[in-house]
Chain A
Amino acid sequence: MSMRTEAGRIAAVAWKDLMTEWRTKANFNAVVFLAVLTLLLFGFALGPDTNALRAAAAGVIWLTILFSGVLAFNRSYQLELEHGALEALLLYPGSHKSLYLGKLLANLAFVLMVELVTVPLAAVLYDLPLLGPLGGLALVLFLGTVGFVALGTFYAAMASRIRAREVLLPLLLFPMLVPVIVAAVEATSALLSGDAMGDAGSWMRLLFVFDVVFVTASVLAFEHVIGE
């Protein structure tokens, strides 16, 4: 199969997942609602003191992304399992890598859309100076989300097909995400407080390394995980 057909197959999978998501919308709305709720609950838990809230904001934002985003991954495979679609999907000629990359793109778009709602809302609730470091923040959000979604899409391919899927996915996924959480939270919080020390850059480099390592590893290992 040529690179071009594979690119077409990747696009087809991503298009199919997003189209389904767009038609139903209910899932997206529920996930956004959960994210909003989480932001509010953290606000109550951390008290009304604006300074305390602002100090914790970076961590709260990323945990909110993690907790709401993780709901998208199993669902992405649920779609394939419902009407025996996975079987048809696995029967198409060509590499199974395209299935992973297509789902990765669709999940990435999904989680980024969720962030588009939650991050501005967090800025309002926690009084964050979002507009100043906007470019840097967008880059951190993107890099962190790529790593998160890459591993989420990979582990959900296994977790969605066994009995304890709701528990097992976070159990496998969250420990692996420690570097993403640490780096993304540190970079975000540095940017929000003006990045006087210039730390954000090195954290972004770490995120980048993480993304490269795990997108590559997942692509290579996916064939062994999705097939029978």
Chain B
Amino acid sequence: MSDWLYIGLAYGVTLIALLGYTLYLRACARRAEALWAEADRREVGR
């Protein structure tokens, strides 16, 4: 019975790790987009 507890734990950890990294990737992409937009602004401002 307790086997299933560990299996659940394993899948939970997997979900958190993969989902967490995906969210981090999204944050990185957002940051890059923001920087790109800033470059646009600076060039217009010149």
A and B touch in the complex (CB under 8 A): no
